[in-house]
Amino acid sequence: MKQTKNGKAVSFNKWGYIFLIPFVLTYLFFQLVPLVLTIYYSFITYYEDGLTTVRSGWNTFANYAYFFKDTRLVTYGLNTIIMWIIGFIPQILVSLLLGAWFSDARLRLKAASFYKVVIYLPNLIMASAFSLLFFSLLKDTGPIHGLLANMGIIKPTEDLFKNVWFARCIVGFMNFLMWFGNTTILLMAGMLGIDQSLYEAAEVDGATPTQVFWRITLPLLRPILVYVLLTSLIGGLQMFDVPQVLTQGKGGPNETTFTVIMWLNRFSSGDKDFGKGGALSVVLFIITGILSMIVYKVSAGKQEE
């Protein structure tokens, strides 16, 4: 009897491997080769000069040493993280608030479906087109600038984008605007999966909406929240398009909105430096990996219990 049971479990579990085949094969074939090459390049001297390619052997971590000989990695890394946090905090708070409102049966928002659909829409526009429209409102010749100048809040000659914290906050705000709908949808999809009878039971027991949210919704949403936090962190560390467009690729003022990927972009556009670009990618990968592991362990660890 025991034997059979074990045998059966094993035969079920081989399906785990079978179901993994498409992912693993596709990954090995399409992604692993370029990835391994990138890592390999990070250890050699390999760059383009016009149409000629210069390539020579192992250079004893020279590519890596390049990124640690000054403090720019820290500076650009902090820029990136600061702008990510400026966007992420309102993003997660607003998403949770909206999630709570939408899932609160007693609130009965008449236009809920409309709201739910609309908040995701900014994500449909190409990031670059979106940043462009945003920029045209705020630039020193744009209407919002004019309005603020007329109200005496800023000097007419002042360019808002030359203020460090304004520039960073604008990048953060744009990220918020583009992604809070996305996050809300993820959370709502998670909420839909929660057993409705739990809510009904809570209502019968006279629980307040706040209690329902903290005691039922949030704990059951934890895996989705972990997902949101992790992917947002990873996406945040790879922040590029919004600051790139808003500052015309300059990361100004004085490189305070210059991100790590904007730095990487220097090595990979025009004449490419595969060696240094590869090394910076690997460094970024390691940093992202470590931060993600910490976040994952801290947030998902408790959930196992």
Partner 1 sequence: MANNNTVQLQMDKEKVTGGIRVRRVVANVVLVFLCVLCLIWFYMLFVNATLNHGQLTSGILRMYPGTNFGENFRLLMGGKQIALTEITPEMRAELSEADIAKIEAKNADLQKQIDEANKTPFIKLIAHSKVWKGLLNSVIIAVGSAVLCTYFSTMTAYAIHCYNFRAKKFIFTFILMIMTIPTQVTAVGFVRLMRSIHLHDTFLPLIIPAIAAPVTFFYMKQYMDSTLPIQIVEAARIDGSGEFRTFNTIVLPMMKPAIAVQAIFTFVGSWNNYFVPSLILDSAKNKTLPILIWEQRNTDWKNFNMGTVYMMILLSIFPVIVVYFLLSKYIVGGVALGSVKG
Partner 2 sequence: MKKKLLSVLLSTAMVAALLAGCNKTTPTSETTPAGSEVVTSQVPGGAGDVVDVETLEDTGDTLTIYVWNEEWLGFFEKYMPNYTRDNDADPLAGHLGDLPVVWVENASTDNVYQTKLDEALKDPNADVDIFLVEADYAGKYTVPGVAKPLGELGITDADLADQFAYTQQVVTTDGVLYGSSWQTCGAGMIYNREIAKEVLGTDDPDEVQAKVSTWEDYQKVAADMKAKGYLMTPRASSTYRVFSNNVSSPWIKDGEINLDPSIKKWVDMSKEMVEAGETKTGDLWDAGDTYTKNTTFCVFGPAWFFNFCMGVDDPASIAAKGGWGLCAGPQAHYWGGTWVCVADKSDNLATAADIVKTMTLDKDVLTKLVENENQDCNSKELADKYANDATFGNDILGGQNPYTIFSKAIGGIDVSNMSQYDQQFNETFQTYMDDYFDGKLTYDEAYEKFETAVKEKVPVLNN
Site for partner 2 in 143-172 (CB under 8 A): 157, 159, 162
- Measured CA to CA, the distance from residue 146 to residue 155 in angstroms comes to 10
CA distances (Å), origin 40, targets 33, 101, 145, 233, 267: 10, 51, 49, 27, 16
249 contributes a contact to partner 2 by CB under 8 A = yes
CB under 5 to 8 A by kind: which of partner 1, partner 2, none does 65 bind? Answer: none
Q: Give backbone dihedrals phi and psi of 8, rounded to 5 degrees, phi first.
A: -65, -45
Rank residues 223 and 254 by Cβ distance to partner 1 and give the closer one: 223
CA-wise closest residue to 252 among 155, 171, 164: 164
- Least Å distance, CB 231 to partner 1, is 6
- The angle, 0 to 180 degrees and rounded to 10, between the axes of the packed helices 143-150 and 127-138 is 30
26 contributes a contact to partner 2 by CB under 8 A = no
109 contributes a contact to partner 1 by CB under 8 A = yes
CA-wise closest residue to 53 among 44, 66, 43: 44
139 contributes a contact to partner 2 by CB under 8 A = yes
CB under 5 to 8 A by kind: which of partner 2, partner 1, none does 221 bind? Answer: partner 1
Within 10 A of 178 (CB to CB), how many other CB atoms are there? 22
- Least Å distance, CB 198 to partner 2, is 29
Binding residue (CB under 8 A) for partner 1 from 59, 115, 218, 255: 115
CA-wise closest residue to 233 among 71, 92, 97: 92
Interaction site with partner 2 (CB under 8 A): 45, 47-51, 54, 123, 126-129, 131-132, 135, 139-141, 157, 159, 162, 178-179, 182, 231-232, 234-235, 238, 240-241, 244-245, 248-250, 252-255, 261, 263, 265-267, 269-273, 275-276
